[in-house]
Amino acid sequence: MDALHSAGIRFAEALQSGPPWLEKFWISVTSLADPKSVFTFFFPLAYFLDRKVGVSVLWIGLVSEWLNVIFKWILFGERPFWWVLESGLASKEPLALRQFPLSCETGPGDPSGHCMITGAALWPLVTALAALASRASGSLVLKLSPFITYTLLLVAVGLSRVFILAHFPHQVVTGILAGAALGWGLQDRAPLAHTPRFFVATALALLLGTLSLHSLVTAAGINIDW
């Protein structure tokens, strides 16, 4: 893993060596794709366009947020900002790396929550826009434009996370793949006919399940808060 991590640091160096205007772009992208944006921006937008799509975005966002925590407890994953110091790489050779206000994220890093949660939650919105474009025009480019935009957005989000040293490249790839798979698998399974009470009960069940799993893993001698 050290070789993979070192390669990721070199990639981050290359990204940070770009023109100054790119710095503002990457920071804007990573802020826009914060998982909370799923609930504060993308869900209201999707719900305004179509109630079914909006509920799907909310449901998938909730489930993917929970699964991301569980995956991180299983896969762990170093954070670049901390790894360069803990591994001793920073003392062995000069590194042209810069720190940003968003760099010092703690907790396991694999998979990237920004990529996974955003990728999963946006899938039903993207497929709905693609269906709308298909009905409006016979142009293949227009039909595929939502998916092309979706892919470019996730790639940009992944690069922004590497740029600020929050994740290694392989962690953002894992997040993108997991997010797209979750979005595809869950978009037709949203509980559209349920009342708000169901969602509250589900959220509580996920919370209690998470706390229980945390206790069990800790009791087994595994420090998931490392």
The yes-or-no answer on residue 167 being catalytic is yes
| In a domain? residue 28 | yes
Range of the domain at 25: 1-193
pLDDT band at 103 (very low <50, low <70, confident <90, very high): confident
Look up residue 99 and give its two tokens: 């720190």
pLDDT for 143 equals 83
| In a domain? residue 164 | yes
Residue 161 has pLDDT above 90, yes or no: yes
| In a domain? residue 204 | no
Residue 107 has pLDDT above 80, yes or no: yes
Output the CA torsion 112→115→120→122 (10° steps): 160
206-225: b or e for each residue (b if 16 or more CB lie within 10 Å)?
A: beeeeeeeeeeeeeeeeebe
In the set 5, 114, 170, 214, the catalytic residue is 114
In this structure, how many other beta carbons lie within 10 angstroms of the beta carbon of residue 74?
Answer: 11
Residue 88 has pLDDT above 80, yes or no: no
Q: What's the domain count of the chain?
A: 1
| In a domain? residue 94 | yes
In the set 167, 170, 194, 214, the catalytic residue is 167
Mean pLDDT of the chain: 88
Residue 137 has pLDDT above 80, yes or no: no
| In a domain? residue 216 | no
| In a domain? residue 89 | yes
| In a domain? residue 159 | yes
DSSP per position, 16-77? HTS-HHHHHHHHHHHHHT-THHIIIIIHHHHHHH-HHHHHHHHHHHHHHHHHHHHHHHHH--
Residue 1 has pLDDT above 90, yes or no: no
| In a domain? residue 205 | no
1: helix, strand or coil? coil
Quote the pTM value.
0.89
